[in-house]
Amino acid sequence: MRRSIAMATACLIGSASIAPAQNRCAEEALKNYNSLNVALLREGPLMSAKALVSHRRLEEAYCHELALCIVHQPADQPVPEFARLPYLAAFAKCLRDEALEKYDAVERKQ
């Protein structure tokens, strides 16, 4: 089950307080991701190689949108230099979380 947007966003930015605009943005990103994901999953349990690549690109697009929400950056503008590190951290964490969720895995302790 997908974690709540508010909790995921709070984890990504390391704060329990989330701006309503961030939450709405993250909810919209998740809604878009879910609708496109359902369409891809209709292909069946054994997806073609092309569908697997499309699914990965969809995950990347979702994580990009979510990371933009976290740094309060409109999608039609480049991420400013001061927000690049938080954006990259949020993007990487989202991709890692998606992979862990997809394969029902747990993160290795180092």
Burial, 20: exposed, middle or buried (Cβ in 10 Å; 0-12, 13-18, 19+)?
A: exposed
Closest-CA residue to 64 (of 34, 108, 101, 26): 26
Could you list the mean pLDDT of each consecutive 10-residue stretch along the chain, which spans 110 residues?
44 58 92 93 85 94 96 90 95 95 83
For 82, which DSSP code? Answer: G
Tell me what pLDDT residue 17 has. Answer: 56
Tell me what pLDDT residue 5 has. Answer: 47
Q: In the chain, what are the domain boundaries?
A: 19-102
Tell me what pLDDT residue 68 has. Answer: 95
Tell me what pLDDT residue 73 has. Answer: 87
Tell me what pLDDT residue 7 has. Answer: 43
The answer to whether 91 touches 83, Cβ cutoff 8 Å, is: no
